Structure 1
């Protein structure tokens, strides 16, 4: 571009009516011209006075543009000789310049990165009928939380505005230890609690500190895809262990090769919903003691149990210090809080304190302080009690809707606790296709097959969450889903006839 026509080139591109100032527009236009070669290296720019006159702008505007271009290395200037476009092309031979029109080679992911993306289960929609595992955030006592938060901000201590000490805010750890001892029969002292951003981070921390690349890990078959992704991304060798009506059911072959860790959901198996029997719990703990296996107990939603009291934790039966108990406050309160906790054996306390501080540089102390007040004032207990009643009503409404459309032909399983259950489908059904068609119709479901590592032996079904669906919406939204299911199963019924 000849500098004689630079003013004309800028003039037709400047938007005099835009909110963005002329200085910013000129700067961006000239930067792009230099980067694309329209203003070639060595080109002398017109004087600030001349360019200002030609553009009809203040000289200070042009001076600011030239100063910024100089500061960022786009141009160079010397007193008495003028301002020239700098040579900004990469000088490293490895960073060769692409030719015009030449396609860029995409940057390849690592193998574990590719696996993570290919097997990702995260949904583009995180709310509404029938998203599993999501509480009704509209029912969260926001005014109470806001009042407690405002009180703390009025007298905000510098200690609450810095990085969190190893393990988290001590008053919160004390409040959680009291709560867990009563509500979940967890054996712990405040120092054994490590505050995290949720179950994913808790498990990631445990894996980083207790395993090496290639170590063997037992996971339930089926299991939560998010946890499976954390383990696989850490380079562990996953060994899927089947579950039956009593929970984890390792074979002799499984036990012949003890894992480094075993991840289980004993109080409400995810996703199928069964409870691990006491005999299986004791057998697993004894196996772990004999073979030095770390057990990670994922207790993600056991507060919500219908028709009976919440079950005691596996950790409460552990006398050998082999269980690491992890939980989340997201399902009790709201997922965006991003706060969880882990209870570690006493011998690991200092290690985990150092680990969480070194790897993640934890903060959120103000939120931790608000949560402490929320718990100590009794709001957590009353909120959980109220939501347990509400979720129980919605569970019943959804089961009635299912029976109204399908009678007893499609079974419901895992409905005794939690925020979801499984609607079983015939073995020949394509639950992934049904889930995709349901999403197109505005209904969110999860295909059960996605939770299996060995999909050839997977049960077929849909995970249906009811917690975040208003009572009045459950029947009409399930009617939409029922239409999708009926269309999908019609060819199956014809073939069987």
Structure 2
């Protein structure tokens, strides 16, 4: 393209009816022409006055485009000489190759993600839909006292100090850590001081921080079989060697072979195993703590939703039994409040406080102090306790409504497992059924559920079942939504019977 034809070329590409400003269209068109070589390196551009007249725009528009092209290196401009297209071609390393160096004729492969990244993406468990019947692990955010939260937030913003608008100090907002230490001692029997609490963005970050500070790539990590896919992904992405340890009705049940090769860390959900729902027995807890003490094993206790227990008071934490300082306790405020809050905490042994404070500041440059200050007021004014109490009653109603709906469709044919606590339970399926196929068909019908087999590392031993979350489903919608799911299940089971 010569500069003589530039005006015609631009006129064909400028659409004055579009909402996008003519300036932006003109800039992008000229950038494209230069990058593709249609405007060759060294070509002289027409004067701003001439081009403005030829394409019927204000001269200032063309001047602004020329200035932007100059600033970004597309053109060079010399007073009295004119504006020229710059040489933007990348350096050709082949052009400076020594004569004796043969050209590499092997075609270059495109840049791909790492093996670790590919493994993470291939086994990702994140769902395309995060709300509705029967998404597990999601609280009812519509019931959150948003007006109370907004009032507290407004009050703090009116007198916001610079201290609340900068990076968080090591460990997070101290008044929040003090409020949480009081709450955890009473509600979860956690032994801690405010200094031992580290505020994070949630359980994923808490575990990621612990893994980065306490393990090296290749170290062994015990995980429950089955376990939460998100935690498994965090550990695998850190280069750890995962050892799936089966659970039974008393919780984690390591074999003699497992115990013969002690791991560096063991990640457990003792108060409400995820996803099956059993509670680790006191004998197993004591055995795990003694094993950790003898072999220098770090235990990460994931206490993700233990506030919601329906047939008894919330159980004491494993950390409360730890006298050797081997347990790192992690929890989330998102399950009690709303997931978008992205606020969690960890309780670390006293000898690791400085290490974790430095680590969280160095790796993540934490902030959100204003949100932490609002959370502090929410706790101290008693709103957290009253909200959890109210939601526990509401979730219990919904849990029972879903169990009743299951009974109405299947009687005692399909068993419910792990319904004593939390925000979900498991609906067991026959071993020859495909819970993944049922999940896909249910989603097509507008119902969300998760296949139990997805939580197993060893698929040969995986139980079949559906993870059913009831917390975020309004009472009146539970029976109709399950009726849709029941139809999907019935068709799948009939097909299995017909093919057997």
Q: TM-score range by the shorter chain?
A: over 0.9
The residue aligned with 1:86 is 86
The residue aligned with 2:171 is 167
The residue aligned with 2:335 is 331
The residue aligned with 2:382 is 378
The residue aligned with 1:153 is 157
Cα RMSD (Å): 1.4
For residues 292-331 of structure 1, the C-alpha deviation after alignment (integer angstroms, 9 at most, x for no partner) is 1000000000000001100000000000000000000000
- TM-score w.r.t. the length of structure 2 is 0.96
The residue aligned with 1:425 is 429
- Could you say if the C-alpha distance between residues 27 and 353 of structure 1 is closer, same or farther in structure 2, counting changes exceeding 3 Å? same
2-side partners of 1:53 and 1:210: how far apart?
68
The residue aligned with 2:21 is 21
Offset of 1:79 from its aligned partner? Answer: 2.1
The reply on whether 1:396 has 2:400 as its aligned counterpart is yes
**1:285 aligns with one of 283, 286, 289:** 289
1-side partners of 2:237 and 2:415: how far apart?
35
1-side partners of 2:57 and 2:401: how far apart?
69
SS at match of 2:323: coil
Within-5 A mapping of 1:463-474: 463-474=467-478
**1:111 aligns with one of 115, 137, 142:** 115
The reply on whether 1:362 has 2:350 as its aligned counterpart is no
The residue aligned with 2:276 is 272
Offset of 1:54 from its aligned partner? Answer: 1.0
Offset of 1:25 from its aligned partner? Answer: 1.6
The residue aligned with 2:238 is 234
**2:217 aligns with one of 213, 218, 243:** 213
The residue aligned with 1:350 is 354
Offset of 1:105 from its aligned partner? Answer: 4.8
2-side partners of 1:95 and 1:169: how far apart?
58
Offset of 1:94 from its aligned partner? Answer: 7.8
SS at match of 2:93: coil
- TM-score w.r.t. the length of structure 1 is 0.97
- Could you say if the C-alpha distance between residues 80 and 357 of structure 1 is closer, same or farther in structure 2, counting changes exceeding 3 Å? same
SS at match of 1:243: strand
2-side partners of 1:229 and 1:495: how far apart?
36
SS at match of 2:487: helix
The reply on whether 1:46 has 2:50 as its aligned counterpart is no
The residue aligned with 2:101 is none
Q: Which range is displaced more, 46-55 or 264-273? A: 46-55
- Could you say if the C-alpha distance between residues 339 and 69 of structure 1 is closer, same or farther in structure 2, counting changes exceeding 3 Å? same
1-side partners of 2:110 and 2:302: how far apart?
38
SS at match of 1:220: strand
Offset of 1:422 from its aligned partner? Answer: 0.2
1-side partners of 2:10 and 2:83: how far apart?
17
1-side partners of 2:327 and 2:95: how far apart?
50
The residue aligned with 2:37 is 37
SS at match of 1:423: strand
SS at match of 1:138: helix
The reply on whether 1:196 has 2:200 as its aligned counterpart is yes
Within-5 A mapping of 1:123-138: 123-138=127-142
For residues 395-451 of structure 1, the C-alpha deviation after alignment (integer angstroms, 9 at most, x for no partner) is 000000000000000000000000000000001111111111111111111000000
Unpaired stretches in structure 1, ≥5 consecutive residues: 97-102
Q: Which range is displaced more, 343-352 or 19-28? A: 19-28
Q: Which range is displaced more, 120-129 or 19-28? A: 19-28
